[in-house]
């Protein structure tokens, strides 16, 4: 072969190899046309079209975009996917707080077979019965069923399965099965069979409910139908969507079009709600007592700011302060703060952060009508004790449902 042609072939070969190296994880086919925003633990945000995602890295379109290690991300959201607000749907709650808009088709001694209402073309989910805490046949009943600080309408002394009927009557006993739209329950008065359309809520015996421990890295996925579930071993699978293993055991796949966000756990960021607080002090304006709430508002409901719900954060009420001992192990703190939507535009409070007694940041007069505000990133290098403070605003403590959403520290 002539030297000039051989040289040309070699040069073209190296160009192909170089292009492949540059495009590794960056120049492939886009999986979703909608915008995806990656929230880095250092506070940066990068928006683009998703090329690939798995338990180790996320890649957005473009040769200039390098793969981002998952441990450097705490939140990933599909910007153009919103959670649909509707009511009257069936919702199944798991013992770890997962919320699935799935209607049980049958229940036996071992499994709950449930049909995901927004994915009705899929086979029913098989959910271990021991992981299921409650089924609400009408999700608006979740508000009516709150009893003090006991979740899901359970009483503190519940020791059996409880069926709440549409007329508010309650039946206690042991659920035998759910089949052909009839629920069978063994009560002290004998066995009963109840049409499902007469049932408002099913609360399973909390003494028999358990959930596998979750360790290492995992994600909390929010879907556009409002479902929330813990997942691991996830990866995009071409046009098929996102494949993953639900922590309750099922291997699943959902289209990317139904995913709202992924909150990533176990990386370089640690959510304060996953740490034990060293101290908590509450000072009432006149009377009353509000406890610190983890991953829900101070009223015990999902953390919500201007229509956006957050699965991680702290719910507080004026006036209070909570302290975490960090032992100098972290370098950054940041959060998104505001008055919860449940205050219906009311509320007026001050948010502040202290490190070892030294003021780090203050946001004054945050109202229930104001947009959510980002606080930080704050430099907390060497800080031993980090304190979050919510204080009274202009109107005392009226509706001061203060949310610290995505409150986290970074190593």
Sequence-ordered strand ranges (E) for 149-212: 161-165, 170-179, 182-187, 190-195, 199-203
The confidence score (pLDDT) of residue 129 equals 94
DSSP 243-312: EEEETTS-EEEE-GGGEEEEEEESSSEEEGGGS--SEEEE--SSS-----EESS-TTSS-EEETTEEESS
Task: Reply yes or no on whether the pLDDT at 15 is more than 70.
Answer: no
pLDDT in tens, 134-184: 999 987 655 444 433 344 555 567 889 999 999 999 999 999 999 989 999
Query: Which secondary structure element, helix H or strand E, spans residue 362, and what is its range?
Result: strand 358-367
C-beta separation of 338 from 407 below 8 A: no
The confidence score (pLDDT) of residue 55 equals 95
Query: In angstroms, what CA-CA distances link 246 with 85, 97, 295?
Result: 24, 13, 20
Mean pLDDT of the chain: 86
DSSP H helices in 96-201: 141-144
The confidence score (pLDDT) of residue 196 equals 94
C-beta separation of 126 from 250 below 8 A: yes
Tokens of 342: 């449940």
C-beta separation of 144 from 129 below 8 A: no
Query: In angstroms, what CA-CA distances link 292 with 216, 278, 282, 326?
Result: 26, 12, 9, 19
Distance CA 273, CA 406 (A): 9
Cα-to-chain-centroid distance, residue 390: 23
> Rounded to 5 degrees, what are φ and ψ at 356?
55, 40
C-beta separation of 353 from 360 below 8 A: yes
Tokens of 109: 């001694």
Domains along the sequence of the chain with CATH:
1-80+217-267 (2.30.30.100), 91-203 (2.30.30.100), 269-410 (2.60.120.1060)
Distance CA 153, CA 183 (A): 20
Distance CA 313, CA 273 (A): 6
pLDDT in tens, 237-274: 877 699 999 999 999 999 999 999 999 999 999 999 99
C-beta separation of 321 from 392 below 8 A: no
pLDDT in tens, 350-374: 999 999 999 999 998 899 999 999 9
C-beta separation of 49 from 60 below 8 A: yes
Tokens of 358: 């030294």
Cis peptide before 319 (omega within 30 of 0): yes
The confidence score (pLDDT) of residue 165 equals 95
The DSSP secondary-structure symbol of 239 reads G
The confidence score (pLDDT) of residue 139 equals 72
pLDDT in tens, 18-54: 333 334 444 455 555 678 999 999 999 999 999 999 9
pLDDT in tens, 313-355: 999 999 999 999 999 999 999 999 999 999 999 999 999 999 9
Tokens of 85: 């607000």
């Amino acid at each position: 072969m002539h030297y000039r042609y051989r040289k040309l072939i070699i040069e073209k070969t190296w160009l192909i190899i170089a292009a492949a190296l540059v495009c590794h994880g960056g120049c492939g086919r886009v999986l979703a046309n909608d915008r995806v925003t990656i929230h880095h633990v250092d506070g940066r945000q990068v928006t683009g079209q998703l090329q690939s995602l798995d338990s180790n890295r996320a890649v957005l379109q473009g040769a200039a975009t390098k793969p981002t290690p998952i441990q450097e991300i705490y939140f990933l959201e599909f910007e153009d996917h919103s959670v649909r607000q509707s009511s009257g749907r069936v919702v199944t709650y798991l013992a770890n707080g997962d919320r699935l808009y799935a209607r049980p088709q049958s229940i036996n001694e071992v499994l709950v077979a449930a049909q995901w209402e927004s994915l009705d073309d899929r086979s029913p989910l098989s959910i271990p019965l021991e992981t299921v805490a409650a089924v609400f046949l009408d999700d608006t009943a979740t508000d009516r069923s709150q009893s003090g600080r006991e979740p899901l309408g359970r009483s503190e002394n519940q020791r059996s399965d409880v069926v709440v009927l549409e007329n508010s009557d309650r039946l206690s006993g042991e659920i035998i099965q759910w089949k052909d739209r009839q629920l069978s329950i063994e009560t002290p008065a004998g066995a009963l069979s109840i049409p499902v359309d007469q049932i408002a809520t099913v609360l399973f015996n909390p003494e028999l409910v358990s959930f596998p421990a979750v360790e290492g890295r995992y994600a909390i996925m929010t879907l556009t139908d409002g479902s929330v579930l813990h997942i691991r071993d996830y990866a995009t699978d071409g046009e098929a969507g996102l494949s993953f293993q639900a922590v309750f055991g099922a291997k699943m796949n959902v289209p990317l079009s139904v995913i709202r966000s992924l909150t990533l756990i176990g990386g370089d960021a640690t959510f304060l709600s996953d740490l034990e607080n060293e101290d908590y002090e509450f000072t009432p304006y006149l009377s009353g007592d509000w406890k610190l709430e983890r991953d829900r508002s101070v009223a015990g409901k999902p953390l919500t700011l201007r229509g956006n719900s957050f699965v991680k954060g702290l719910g507080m009420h004026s006036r209070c302060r909570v302290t975490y001992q960090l032992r100098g192990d972290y370098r950054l703190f940041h959060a998104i703060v505001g008055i919860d939507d449940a205050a219906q535009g009311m509320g007026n409070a001050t948010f502040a952060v202290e490190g070892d007694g030294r003021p780090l940041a203050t946001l004054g007069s945050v109202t229930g009508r104001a947009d959510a505000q980002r606080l930080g990133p704050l430099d907390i290098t060497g800080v031993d004790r980090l304190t979050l403070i919510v204080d009274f605003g202009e109107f005392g403590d009226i509706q001061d449902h203060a949310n610290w959403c995505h409150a986290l520290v970074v190593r």
